[in-house]
């Protein structure tokens, strides 16, 4: 049954049409993902559905009594109420019933008149049935469960909303709207301020939600997990796909190829017919003139196909580096940082080597951004140390975009940082990033989050770094822009370290994952799915161990755990030794190649003594490589035995 019917709606702003003849139904259990590039009209459509703005034409009808919950990107909360109180407001009807029941109980206990008492008892029974039907006895546990799932601790429940950050307010709004349990949820970018754990909580909630929802999201992993329909807005039109996101991509691309081929074939046929008509007319006889007119009439009746142009994000990214780094990029040893009495992170140790593609994940507030800023020297470490390798050129992407001067225009921002470039060259680069014409004179303060993100990426690209450090670079980027960034990172020949909660993105670009928690961090040698596999293996292993060690004393279990920890430390050392040996072999082989080239130079091969010295170095290097290969094999065998 349709709970919402949208019929032929269109909408324009300042003569620019955003939506054109949009038609669809929402059924009572629909799970819909609404996608499209930034500016395609997704939020506008939500506002029309929620009656914030009206359509220019067309109609919307709702089933009687339809309750809609709308999570907007703009944040509006009562700042003088606590987190718990704001959520409690969603149960006002239940709280009122509870108060009514309490008053009735007091009246019943003191009433002597049997007629009045019977009336009170009937009213009490009616109110109690309503209270139980609404699961009134569960409102407290529902609120606490929702808040904890979205990463609020019980200590924070009594915090005033005015003391919350923008991200925390967004999470609070999401919690309160989900607690409403509306017939239709409209969620505009609900995962924007969620870490991976909270996003998974939301996924599980929506998967089990027995009512309808529409969600705007650029999180492809999330869309795949929760949506059974995809509504795709492109070029003002809406296309509906009864599938998840991954299958939608396949279907969309297939449809595009079919439409493109049909358009091209029809265009060729129309041109062929026009050429025949021109030829017939050139014969200048009545017979051929009639034939030409006949073909013209047929051609006029042809329903000409529309060119299926993609609504693309105009954005070209290519990371390159002029300076070659050494093999060792970054070493972090027992790093710790506190702000006052609050410990932000501690016991952080990891190494990054040339061509490592590293992701960092962890809960919100665990200290990921503070760790990056400590690595960059913006914060002073209280414990441990950070060491960079040689010839490191860093390109830093700050999620808060503090590297951008808000007082500048777009073109001034590039010129201030790269004044050796002439204005025409700067304009060419800006054009490749979607800034053309008068847009280059826009003030940075007026740019959207996505536009600021693109400008920051351009600045990094022009710097030509050999080590990228990026903090949530996919925030504010639409799916197409994320794919452009992914491809640029996959083509990048150097090293990067990226904080991200975008699991799809992490799967595409990283080969090493650092998971930060309260006790330190752990390194996984793979992408996000590899990390999940390892967690599942550990869960199964833990279940098996709980059976295997059920008869052991606590002291014996501690000893087993201690031995296991020593084994893990040994494995870590072996892996570090293997990397060192591998890098050393690579260095020696590069030196041999360089020396062999030297031997072909005239000034060397004509100088017997110099040639003899070079040959000796090559011979020694080859002998050292043989020894290193033996050591490598021994280390691999040792690693296999420890595993």
CATH number at residue 576: 1.10.287
pLDDT at residue 591, rounded to an integer: 83
Q: Which of 510, 528, 546 is the last residue of a domain?
A: 546
**Residue 566 pLDDT exceeds 90:** no
Look at residue 173 and tell me if it is in a domain: no
Mean per-residue pLDDT for 557-574? 64
pLDDT at 78: 87
Is there a single domain that holds both residue 590 and residue 504? no
Segment 403-415 mean pLDDT: 91
Q: What is the pLDDT of residues 352-384, one digit of tens each?
A: 999 999 999 999 888 999 999 999 999 999 999
Query: Is residue 169 scored above 70 in pLDDT?
Result: yes
Could you give the CA distance from residue 615 to residue 601 in angstroms, rounded to a whole number?
A: 14
Q: Which whole number is the average pLDDT over 515-519?
A: 91
* 416 shares its domain with 365: yes
Q: In this structure, are residues 362 and 195 in contact, taking their beta carbons and an 8 Å threshold? A: yes
Distance CA 447, CA 449 (A): 7
* Domain final position from 529, 546, 563: 546
pTM of the model: 0.74
Tens digits of per-residue pLDDT, 223-268? 999 999 999 999 899 999 999 999 999 998 888 888 888 888 988 9
Q: Verify that 475 and 430 share a domain, yes or no.
A: yes
* 3-state secondary structure at position 91: helix
291-347: per-residue pLDDT in tens? 888 888 888 888 888 888 776 666 788 999 989 999 999 999 999 999 988 899 999
Q: Per-residue confidence at 2, pLDDT binned at 50, 70, 90?
A: very high
Do both 594 and 502 map to the same domain?
Answer: no
In a domain, 401, yes or no: yes
Instruction: Identify the CATH number of the domain in which residue 454 sits.
Output: 3.40.50.300
**pLDDT the model gives residue 561:** 59
Whether 450 is covered by a domain: the verdict is yes
- Residue 32: inside a domain: no
Is residue 462 domain-resident? yes
β-pair type (237-241, 57-62): unpaired
Tokens of 322: 């002029």
Q: What is the 3-state secondary structure (H, E, C) of 352-402?
A: EECCCEEEEECCCCCCHHHHHHHHCCCCCCCEEEEEECCCCCEEEECCCCC
Instruction: Say whether pLDDT at 422 is over 80.
Output: yes
445 and 497 share a domain?
yes
Do 556 and 522 share a structural domain? no
Q: Are residues 259 and 388 in the same domain?
A: no
pLDDT band at 134 (very low <50, low <70, confident <90, very high): confident
Q: Look at residue 4 and tell me if it is in a domain.
A: no
Distance CA 594, CA 610 (A): 15
Q: At what angle do helices 449-463 and 479-491 cross, to 10 degrees?
A: 10
pLDDT at 572 over 80: no
- Enclosing domain of residue 615: 552-642
Question: Facing residues of 360 across strands?
Answer: 499, 514
Cβ atoms of residues 378 and 423 within 8 Å: no
Side by side, which strands form the sheet with 237-241?
A: 68-71, 184-188, 212-216, 31-35, 229-234, 237-241
pLDDT tens, position by position, 45-71: 999 999 999 999 999 999 999 999 999
Residue whose C-alpha is closest to residue 359's, from 491, 194, 469, 466: 469
**pLDDT at 643 (0 to 100):** 57
Contact 348, 521 (CB under 8 A): yes
Match 């490749």 to its residue by tokens: 432
pLDDT at position 557 over 60: no
Q: Are residues 527 and 391 in the same domain?
A: yes
Give the contacts of 460 (CB within 8 A, at least 6 positions apart): 319, 395, 396, 397, 468
Query: Rg of the chain over CA atoms, in angstroms?
Result: 33
| Domains identified in the chain, total number | 3
* Highest-confidence segment of 279-283, 333-337, 434-438: 333-337
- Look at 189-198, 333-342, 445-454 and tell me which has the smallest mean pLDDT: 445-454
Q: Determine which helix (DSSP H) or strand (DSSP E) holds 628, and give its type and residue range.
A: helix 608-642
Domain co-membership, 285 together with 383: no
Confidence category of residue 196, pLDDT binned at 50, 70, 90: very high
Q: Given this model, what pLDDT does residue 550 score?
A: 56
d(CA 107, CA 604): 111
526 and 458 in one domain?
yes
pLDDT at 181 over 80: yes
Q: Are residues 352 and 380 in the same domain?
A: yes
CB atoms within 10 A of CB 103: 12
Share of the chain above pLDDT 70, in %: 94
Compute the half-sphere exposure of residue 526: CA atoms within 13 Å on the CB side of its CA: 8
Mapping DSSP to helix (H, G, I), strand (E, B) and coil, where does residue 344 land? Answer: strand
User: What are 577-624's pLDDT values in tens digits?
Assistant: 788 888 788 888 888 888 877 777 777 766 766 776 787 788 788 888
Q: Bigger pLDDT: 536 or 546? A: 536
pLDDT of residue 48: 96
The average pLDDT across 3-14 equals 95
Mean pLDDT of the chain: 88
- If you search the block for the tokens 């003849």, which residue do you land on? 21
pLDDT value for 36? 92
Please report whether residue 565 resides in a domain.
yes
Q: Please tell me whether residue 225 adopts helix, strand or coil conformation.
A: helix
pLDDT value at 515 more than 60: yes
Contacts of 454 (CB under 8 A, 6+ apart): 315, 433, 434, 481
In the block, tokens 């760790």 appear at 371
Is residue 468 very low, low, confident or very high in pLDDT (cuts 50, 70, 90)?
A: very high
Using 50, 70 and 90 to split pLDDT, how confident is the model at 498? very high
Choose the final residue of a domain: 484, 513, 546. 546
**pLDDT at position 1, please?**
82
Band of pLDDT at residue 179, cut at 50, 70 and 90 = very high
Phi/psi for 195 (5° steps) reads -80, 180
Task: Look at residue 548 in the predicted model and tell me its pLDDT.
Answer: 58
- Distance separating alpha carbons of residues 532 and 198, to the nearest angstrom: 16
pLDDT at 90 over 80: yes
Pairing of strands 512-517, 357-361: parallel
Residue 47 covered by a domain: no
3-state SS string for 288-338: HHHHHHHHHHHHHCCCCCCCCCCCCCCCCCCCCCCCCCCCEEEEEEEEEEE
Tell me the two tokens of residue 320: 């390159």
* CA dihedral sign of residues 507, 510, 516, 521: positive
Of 259-268, 454-463, 529-538, 570-579, the one with minimum mean pLDDT is: 570-579
Q: What is the pLDDT of residue 201?
A: 94
Tell me, what's the pLDDT at 185? 97
φ/ψ bin of 14: left (φ > 0), alpha (ψ from -120 to 50), beta (otherwise): left
* 541 and 624 within one domain: no
Q: Is 271 helix (H, G, I), strand (E, B) or coil?
A: helix
- Residue 540 is predicted with a pLDDT of 82
């Amino acid at each position: 049954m349709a709970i919402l019917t949208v019929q032929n709606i269109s909408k324009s702003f300042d003569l620019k049409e955003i939506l054109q003849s949009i038609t669809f139904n929402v059924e009572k259990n629909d799970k819909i993902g609404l996608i499209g590039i930034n500016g395609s009209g997704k939020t506008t459509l939500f506002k029309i559905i929620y009656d914030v703005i009206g359509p220019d034409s067309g109609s919307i009808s709702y089933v009687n009594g339809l309750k809609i919950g709308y999570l907007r990107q703009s944040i509006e909360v009562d700042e003088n109420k606590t987190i718990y109180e704001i959520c409690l407001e969603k149960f006002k009807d239940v709280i009122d019933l509870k108060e009514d029941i309490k008053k009735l109980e007091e009246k019943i206990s003191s009433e002597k008149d049997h007629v009045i008492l019977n009336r009170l008892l009937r009213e009490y029974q009616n109110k109690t049935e309503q209270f139980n039907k609404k699961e009134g006895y569960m409102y407290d546990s529902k609120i606490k469960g929702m808040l904890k799932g979205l990463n609020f601790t019980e200590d924070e429940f009594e915090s005033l909303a005015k003391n919350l950050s923008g991200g925390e307010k967004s999470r609070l709004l999401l919690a309160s709207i989900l607690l409403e349990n509306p017939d239709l949820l409209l969620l505009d970018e609900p995962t924007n301020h969620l870490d991976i754990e909270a996003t998974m909580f939301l996924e599980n909630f929506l998967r089990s939600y027995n009512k309808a929802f529409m969600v705007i999201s650029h999180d492809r992993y999330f869309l795949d997990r929760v949506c059974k329909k995809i509504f795709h807005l492109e070029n003002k039109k809406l296309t509906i796909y009864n599938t998840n996101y991954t299958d939608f991509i396949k279907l969309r691309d297939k449809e595009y190829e079919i439409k493109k081929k049909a358009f091209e074939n029809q265009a060729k046929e129309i041109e062929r017919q026009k050429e025949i008509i021109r030829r017939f007319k050139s014969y200048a006889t009545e017979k051929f003139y009639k034939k030409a007119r006949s073909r013209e009439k047929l051609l006029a009746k042809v329903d000409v196909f529309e060119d299926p142009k993609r609504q693309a994000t105009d954005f070209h990214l290519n990371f390159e580096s002029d300076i070659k780094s050494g093999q060792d990029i970054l070493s972090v040893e027992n790093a710790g940082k506190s702000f006052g009495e609050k410990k932000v992170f501690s016991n952080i140790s990891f190494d990054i080597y040339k061509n490592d593609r590293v992701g960092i994940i962890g809960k919100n507030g665990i200290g990921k951004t503070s760790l990056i800023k400590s690595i960059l020297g913006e914060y002073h470490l209280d414990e441990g140390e950070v060491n960079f390798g040689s010839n490191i050129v860093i390109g830093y992407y700050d999620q808060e975009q503090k590297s951008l001067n808000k007082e500048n225009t777009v073109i001034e921002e590039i010129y201030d940082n790269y004044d050796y470039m002439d204005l025409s060259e700067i304009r060419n680069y800006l054009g490749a990033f979607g800034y053309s014409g008068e847009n280059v004179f826009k003030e940075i303060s007026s740019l959207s989050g996505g536009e600021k993100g693109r400008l920051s990426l351009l600045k990094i690209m022009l710097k030509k770094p050999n080590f990228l450090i990026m903090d949530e670079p996919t925030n504010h980027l639409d799916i197409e822009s994320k794919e452009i960034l992914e491809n640029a990172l996959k083509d990048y020949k150097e090293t990067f370290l990226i904080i991200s909660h975008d699991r799809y993105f992490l799967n595409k670009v990283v080969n090493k994952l650092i998971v930060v928690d309260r006790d330190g961090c752990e390194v996984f040698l793979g992408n996000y799915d590899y990390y999940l596999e390892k967690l599942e293996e550990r869960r199964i292993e833990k279940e098996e161990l709980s059976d295997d060690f059920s008869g052991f004393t606590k002291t014996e279990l501690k000893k087993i755990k201690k031995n296991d920890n020593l084994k893990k430390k040994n494995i870590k050392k072996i892996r570090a030794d293997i990397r060192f040996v591998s890098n050393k072999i690579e260095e020696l082989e590069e030196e041999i190649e360089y020396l062999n080239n030297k031997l072909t130079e005239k000034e060397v091969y004509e100088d017997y003594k110099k040639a003899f010295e070079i040959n000796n170095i090559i011979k020694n290097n080859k002998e050292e490589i043989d020894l290193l290969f033996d050591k490598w094999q021994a280390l691999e065998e040792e690693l296999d035995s420890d595993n």
